[in-house]
Structure 1
Amino acid sequence: MKRTLLFTIALFIVSQSLKAQTAPPSDIGTIQQEFKKLNVLGSVLYIAAHPDDENTRLLAYLAQEKHYRTGYLSLTRGDGGQNLIGTEQGELLGLIRTQELLAARRMDGAEQFFSRATDFGFSKNPEETLKFWDKDKILGDMVWVIRKFRPDVMICRFPTTGEGGHGNHTASAILAQEAFSAAADPKRYPEQLKHGVTPWQAKRLLWNTFNFGNTNTTSEDQFKLNVGGYNPTLGQSYGEIAAESRSNHKTQGFGSARQRGDVFEYFKTILGDAPKTDLMDGITTTWARIPGGAPIGDELAKIRKDFNDDAPQASVPALVKLLDKVDMDFVNDKAMQTVRLKAGAVEDYTYWHQQKTKDLKDLIAACAGLWFEAYTAEPTYAQDDQMAIRTQVISRNGLNIVLNGLELIQSMDKAKSPASAAGSRPLTHYDLAVTNKDIPVGELQTFNNTCVTGGISQPYWLEQPHPIGSYYIDDDTKVGNPENPDAPKMKFSFLIAGKPMTFYRTLQYKYVDPARGEIYQPLEIAPPVTANITEKVYVFNGPLPQTVQVKLKSFTNADGSVSIKPIAGWKISPERIDFTGKKKGDEWTVAFTVVPTDDRSNTANLDVITTANGKTFSQGLLNIKYNHVPAITIFPPAQAKLVNINLKIAGKRIGYIGGAGDLVPDALREVGYEVHQLTESEILNGDLSIYDAIVTGVRAYNVNPRLAYEQPKLMEYVKNGGNLVVQYNNNNGLVTKEIGPYPFRIVNERVTDETAPVTILDKNNPILNYPNQISQEDFKGWIQERSVYMLNNIDPKYKTPLQMGDPGEGQSNGAVAVTEYGEGRFVYTSLAFFRQLPAGVPGAYRLFINLLSKPKNTVGQ
């Protein structure tokens, strides 16, 4: 089985929400929660396969009620699914879903992790999944995350026995079982031990049993937790928090209702000791888990008891002394080191010291009313240009705080940049740090600095081309991170109540939108000039030339040229187009003529090469914007696909009814169709007979409730001689079950192997002959899958000319059903045209055009 990637992209994104500030929250509710969290030394790691697999209610309960360090390890970024709110697929969809998961975690309080596995589409069994994922690599990623996170308890969403349905689901549980033991074995993945981790054995591995759909795996003899409680500090129940968290999965249509009242989660022990009365049975989750650490907990409890909501800064001196005690007593005291060594708790102490000192410093800053951030003067800078950086620092509660210095960190693990601010400045009440020229700017005084920008922004998992199944990551220590761990940061050094403390803030760009107010967005490091090809696929039908337009944008002052890399079997002119004197922000368009040099069917990649200021680049520019996630700017390869096929077209005008979002209309326009997006008024009141065919987008009968009322008009269109083509729909949530003129049933059956043999049952059927004659050759080169949500219980009035099935499974004729109705024709297809056409699969074009083309003389024969 093979999969085709659309392209590899470049991206730098940050984890803040669209309107979120760069600093963590510092309200009294958050401070109270952080006090509770500081006194808990326990951790839980939840494991599943995809975005949306996680139990957000349980995560919220563990993080916000029990105050455990809670993480969700999603093995994939969800890049193989469908998009219910847009047209992004593949890696683009994975980027959006990464941000949706981060938005969800900001709601429920858990942390987010990933492996290098890709979501390559629906998988029917774990054997197929593990084959494409490269089991050893993904297991190693899980072991790495476990050794870094050091969970006391691991929880799987799915079992190893298949009740989770999807092969990815079952594989995630199989891998979790093996990782549970492998993480504790120093002989497994020993290379990881050179990078600051040590073997780790979790206490237990549980399966979070479930009851959804027609599957109930819970029982009253299982360990259970009531996770439906109410948190008065937050003013919400965990069911309410969970709904807000889960509703961030908008590309999957998982908006959820808030739940209140008792809700139980059930667990079955897979490995380790079974819990009896508490999830953490047998695990010390107070400071007493560290030899000699109990006094820390006692002192923290006293500080919290004395905390004054109206004067949080009053607790800062005691908190600073506590931080001093943690650092001095537990780092420098040789006697305590000996006690810990004898107790075998050195690594455990080091881990919790790192976690709790960070949490304690954040709490001190929040109580002190200390605000600080770093941002850039512009949203985008070209590689190797100067970047202006601004910082803001304010002490709002009148404490004795000194800003000792600012330093730009290009990478937490690499050399620091020379950009820094020397000297120190006391911060008095409502006084901000000054500029490097010591010139105040109104109430807000800023430190401005410049640095030379580094490499082009890109996510670490997409830096290299990768095979199907897993991303190629050349630095394994980055695995697990949801985003780039080495993003540029500003280091802030303070003296708070006499104690030096350092903090970091990721660089971002912020601006004011007239309608939405202050907005933060990711900083972008771009190539000097980007090149966007107007179309992703150019379909040629013989030796006729086509014009390829390239839209260029300059992100700096630039001179250079643009050309198309020579392609065997194709003629390109001109060879090169020069440009001079371009300024930052300039945009212009150039055109090339491309023509195949022979009439053989073939495909090729078209690559645009841009030379700017002596350096060569081949990247485009694409912006993805949704209100629920930060803006995403990507720099994909400046590439398109050339497809030369023997293609005949009948008809011209297509009416399209949008569904969940797909690129089929663009593909049809590319081969010469006039495609019009139909409105409800046009369907109900317009003359539909002007369209040679009407097509419904993928999942249209799931997401467009008005289709239930428009359906009679569509059937009237067919009856009067029209041609209606309905693309696949999910079997759940149909707005009407009367999609066709005669009954059929949509079921969750698929052919996931895109190389699966296709049997032609009715070679004389018009959809296989007019205007293109379809053969077995037309089913070669398909990507990701052949068919989804196929039909059964099909009325005999339908003809089903194709049969297919995955290897080792039964054959189905539910991929295409066609029938005559009145003077017209109705076609239902579950074939994955929404993936094939944007990828330029020749046979898919030929077959889909046949579905659109009703011969004049077939009805009634």
Structure 2
Amino acid sequence: MKRLSSLTFSLLLICSQAFSQTAPSSDIGAIKQNLKKLNVLGSVLYIAAHPDDENTRLLGYLAQEKHYRTGYLSLTRGDGGQNLIGTEQGELLGLIRTQELLAARRVDGAEQFFSRANDFGFSKNPEETLKFWDKDKVLGDMVWVIRNFRPDVMICRFPTTGEGGHGNHTASAILAQEAFSAAADPKRYPEQLKYVGVWQAKRLLWNTFSFGSVNTTSPDQFKINVGGYNAVLGKSYGEIAAESRSNHKTQGFGSARQRGDAFEYFKTILGDAPKNDLMDGVDLSWNRIPFGTAIATKLIAINKAFNSDAPEASVKSLVDLLGDVDQTVATNKAFQTVRLTEVANSSYDYWHKQKTKELKDLIAQCAGLWFEAYAKEPVYAVGDKLNITAQLITPYELPISALKINLGDEISSTAINIKGYVLEPNQLLTRELPPIFLNKNSQPYWLESPRSLGSYSLANDTLAGNPENEDVPTAKFDFTIDGKKLTYFRKVMYKYVDPARGEIYQPLEITPPVTANLAEKLYVFNNTQPQTVQLKLKSFTNSTGSISLKQVAGWKISPAKIDFSNKHKGDEWTATFSIAPTDSKTNVAQLQADVNVNGKTFSQGILDIRYNHIPAITIFPPAEAKLVSIDLKTAGKKIGYIAGAGDLIPESLREVGYDVHLLSENEILNGDLSAYDAIVLGVRAFNVSQRIAYQQPRLMEYINNGGNLVVQYNVNNGLVTKDIGPYPFTLVNQRVTEEDAKVTVTDPQNAVLNYPNKITDADFNGWIQERGLYFADNIDSHYATPLQMNDTGMAPNKGSLLVTNYGKGRFVYTSLAFFRELPAGVPGAYRLFINLLSKPKN
């Protein structure tokens, strides 16, 4: 028997994204969990400062056991953290950590939100944090998220009293308290009320903790046992938490699965204190909305009748229930006399939208209905046509019908009629959609404009909260299921088959017509001799135009421009310019490339970030590089480098003429190390390389025979050996986070401050993010400590730079943040680091 089918596609704006596939899971476990969630009308918002601050066990418990709508608001994207798996720092690290958080949420079942705050690095106090973050803007973002999410209970990870250590942590708690009240006040951020209503959560709790030596829990605190076992998922919440947290790979937070009782403790900060349950005083049932009692009764019957062997048998009753949910809007006459905006902001309308979406997803799951839309190619240029293929299938004999496929009135009036098409069970339907023109690239919204030190600039305040772009190509699917029209959305992706990994989905790349990548992000000059600056250009469409470098005061650039013509999609070529400083004075400038294509100017490069644990990331950074002219003397030429957690020091040294060779273990143990003027260990080498303990005696032998060994910072936890140098010292979690903190020279005659460059106070100007981290303490008397520094109000610290002679050679340990300063082109940091590499000849 033929069945009528009706399907409509249209490009809309949504922000959700899946990794491995676009369709949600429809296994029996997922269906059962979603059936339970339908009967719970409650929400919890967890708030902290960074990716990895969240309590994944608690989030998993709230989302998967209690079935609350659960969210995590991370005020930052973790841009200032460390990267244990690559060299990305700053915004690039923030992009990775954003995707790691989204991967974690796919495991524990919570949702993810962000503010515009930038993680500018470690901060010792909340006052500094709030100054850099632009408190009013970030608070507004939090209020916006709260008014949209409408949490019944808010939970902050950290207290306002400083036990969280990091100033960002304390600031997140301070802001959470203010946002709790501000979200309910119509006088606060009234511009938001055009879109959302005010909202007052029932209570704000602090999820107390026991971290290391800091224990903020006590037996008299309200507590819940989150260590239970979910039989539907076949996992305990300790196991779910470990899987979720282990997605934070850049931070090295792989976690062991835990089983058995585990209690979480809470202190009430604002609102009524819970006595028996986290949600005391909150109606979590369908009684929360008008006419909800009948819906709850039907849900009980649907749950009771559900057959795991035949989930499709529940489709009709679920569709009927959806009709009942919709009907309650029409029958509640109170809503007919209220302004449209008030209806949109009503508590009823909020839960109607949430439960309607859950019901529709559950109907598709029970129907085994799979559908998606994907692009023919992975990359398109702005102005090009996007070609989309849509597919759908159901394995069951169900009344799912459709008539038409089109792109919607918003995009195109073109339609493909398929009247009479029979959607047979288990028969894949494939249709090509009419193409659309692309008018915007896929740059992440928070990177579209230059940012300040502490916060991103948003084109529209309503973008706050979104983990990713809203304005992405999205297919709209209109079905008729058992006589009722249901609408679904799927993000348009590109999919391909990798021989080793199988079918892979990745986000579409929508690029500028031509991108220009400068070969280096930093060009360092220590004389007036010209250097060649090479640009790699790539065309993503048919193009003709020119490339030029903007003229910069104090620099000579030639030629003025270079033309190109008849370039096709995929063509790559290089353009070469000559640049030189006009004099030998210290000069720092920004170099910008402009590409004129088909009458329009673009100034963007392209950068791909690829890791197997997250979706592919492509961004379009400014086509810029930094020009730095330094009065710099060098000594020696050949540097051996032992990789640590990942940094850009080798590239930075090559910029000033050093021959840098990455040493293998075989070369360290068996090679002729005397060939190297210095050997440098990358950041955290003693934390991440298990083999360094076996290589250490050979490195000590290298020093003893006249070599120069420079060890960069390590953290105090997880050292593979404590014998870092020839004489003892310990590492402690002490930092100088003020990048302009006063530096005092305590040993002015020390060679590291005089050869080959004379280090002065001026060399400590212009540093970024911090002076140093994880300083040395309990320092043996063999070491000279030529520098001393401290943050405001803190005691002087001499543990940033340790120097000692050993045998015929020299050992240097430094906690100074050269891994940040050199890639940023800080002149004084270059001069000092070159001195560390340059042992004077005896």
- TM-score range with shorter-chain normalisation? over 0.9
Aligned to 1:730: 715
Aligned to 2:47: 47
Instruction: Summarize deviations over 1:205-231 as a string: whole Å, max 9, x none.
Output: 111010111111111111111111111
Q: Is contact 1:799–1:818 with CA below 8 Å preserved after alignment?
A: yes
What SS does the corresponding residue of 1:840 show, helix, strand or coil? coil
Q: Is contact 1:401–1:426 with CA below 8 Å preserved after alignment?
A: no
What SS does the corresponding residue of 2:179 show, helix, strand or coil? helix
Aligned to 1:551: 536
Pair 1:141–1:421, CA change in 2 (3 A): farther
Q: Is contact 1:548–1:592 with CA below 8 Å preserved after alignment?
A: yes
Does 2:820 correspond to 1:819? no
For residues 296-375 of structure 1, what are the structure 2 equivalents within 5 Å?
296-334=295-333, 347-375=346-374
Q: Distance in 2 between matches of 1:337 and 1:298?
A: 26
**Deviation of residue 124 (structure 1)?**
0.1
Q: Is contact 1:409–1:490 with CA below 8 Å preserved after alignment?
A: no
Aligned to 1:746: 731
Instruction: Summarize deviations over 1:307-358 as a string: whole Å, max 9, x none.
Output: 11121111111111111111012334427879999x9998111100000001
Instruction: Summarize deviations over 1:31-52 as a string: whole Å, max 9, x none.
Output: 1101000000000000000000
Aligned to 1:97: 97
Aligned to 2:790: 805
Q: Is contact 2:423–2:429 with CA below 8 Å preserved after alignment?
A: no
Pair 1:402–1:425, CA change in 2 (3 A): farther
Aligned to 2:831: 846
Aligned to 1:142: 142
Percent sequence identity over matched residues? Answer: 70
Aligned to 2:424: 429
Pair 1:145–1:335, CA change in 2 (3 A): closer
Which runs of 5 or more residues in structure 2 are unaligned?
Answer: 1-12
Aligned to 1:709: 694
Q: Distance in 2 between matches of 1:643 and 1:457?
A: 31
Equivalent of residue 561 in structure 2, options 567, 570, 576:
576
Aligned to 2:127: 127
Does 2:383 correspond to 1:384? yes
Pair 1:761–1:526, CA change in 2 (3 A): same
Equivalent AA in structure 1 for residue 279 of structure 2: M
For residues 399-478 of structure 1, what are the structure 2 equivalents within 5 Å?
399-408=398-407, 415-418=410-413, 421=416, 427-430=422-425, 445-478=430-463
What SS does the corresponding residue of 1:446 show, helix, strand or coil? strand
Runs of 4+ residues deviating >6 angstroms: 335-341, 343-346
Q: Distance in 2 between matches of 1:501 and 1:687?
A: 72
**Deviation of residue 448 (structure 1)?**
3.1
Aligned to 1:6: none
For residues 661-700 of structure 1, what are the structure 2 equivalents within 5 Å?
661-700=646-685
Pair 1:674–1:269, CA change in 2 (3 A): same
Q: Distance in 1 between matches of 2:750 and 2:387?
A: 66
CA RMSD, Structure 1 to Structure 2 (Å): 2.0
Q: Distance in 2 between matches of 1:338 and 1:346?
A: 14
What SS does the corresponding residue of 2:37 show, helix, strand or coil? helix
Does 2:840 correspond to 1:855? yes
Aligned to 2:7: none
Does 2:782 correspond to 1:787? no
For residues 166-205 of structure 1, what are the structure 2 equivalents within 5 Å?
166-195=166-195, 197-205=196-204
Aligned to 1:653: 638
What SS does the corresponding residue of 1:58 show, helix, strand or coil? helix
Which runs of 5 or more residues in structure 1 are unaligned?
Answer: 1-11, 433-442
Q: Distance in 1 between matches of 2:572 and 2:587?
A: 33
What SS does the corresponding residue of 2:700 show, helix, strand or coil? helix
Q: Distance in 1 between matches of 2:517 and 2:185?
A: 50
Aligned to 1:721: 706
Q: Is contact 2:711–2:814 with CA below 8 Å preserved after alignment?
A: yes
Aligned to 1:220: 219
Instruction: Summarize deviations over 1:579-606 as a string: whole Å, max 9, x none.
Output: 1111111111121111112222101111
Instruction: Summarize deviations over 1:529-572 as a string: whole Å, max 9, x none.
Output: 11111111111111101111111111011111111111111111
Pair 1:548–1:418, CA change in 2 (3 A): farther
Equivalent of residue 504 in structure 1, options 474, 486, 489:
489
Equivalent of residue 586 in structure 2, options 595, 601, 608:
601
Aligned to 1:68: 68
Equivalent AA in structure 2 for residue 493 of structure 1: D
Equivalent of residue 519 in structure 1, options 494, 499, 504:
504
Instruction: Summarize deviations over 1:800-838 as a string: whole Å, max 9, x none.
Output: 111111122111111101000000000000010000000
Equivalent AA in structure 2 for residue 259 of structure 1: Q
Q: Is contact 1:728–1:829 with CA below 8 Å preserved after alignment?
A: yes
**Deviation of residue 189 (structure 1)?**
1.0
What SS does the corresponding residue of 2:321 show, helix, strand or coil? helix
Instruction: Summarize deviations over 1:603-637 as a string: whole Å, max 9, x none.
Output: 11111111122211111111100010000011111
Q: Is contact 1:803–1:812 with CA below 8 Å preserved after alignment?
A: yes
Pair 1:101–1:404, CA change in 2 (3 A): farther
Q: Distance in 1 between matches of 2:695 and 2:291?
A: 73
Equivalent AA in structure 2 for residue 368 of structure 1: A
Aligned to 1:36: 36
Q: Is contact 1:290–1:345 with CA below 8 Å preserved after alignment?
A: no
Equivalent AA in structure 1 for residue 310 of structure 2: A
Q: Distance in 2 between matches of 1:14 and 1:718?
A: 56
Equivalent AA in structure 2 for residue 261 of structure 1: G
**Deviation of residue 407 (structure 1)?**
4.7
Q: Distance in 2 between matches of 1:219 and 1:570?
A: 64
Q: Distance in 2 between matches of 1:427 and 1:225?
A: 53
Equivalent AA in structure 1 for residue 552 of structure 2: I
Q: Distance in 2 between matches of 1:359 and 1:531?
A: 45
Aligned to 1:8: none
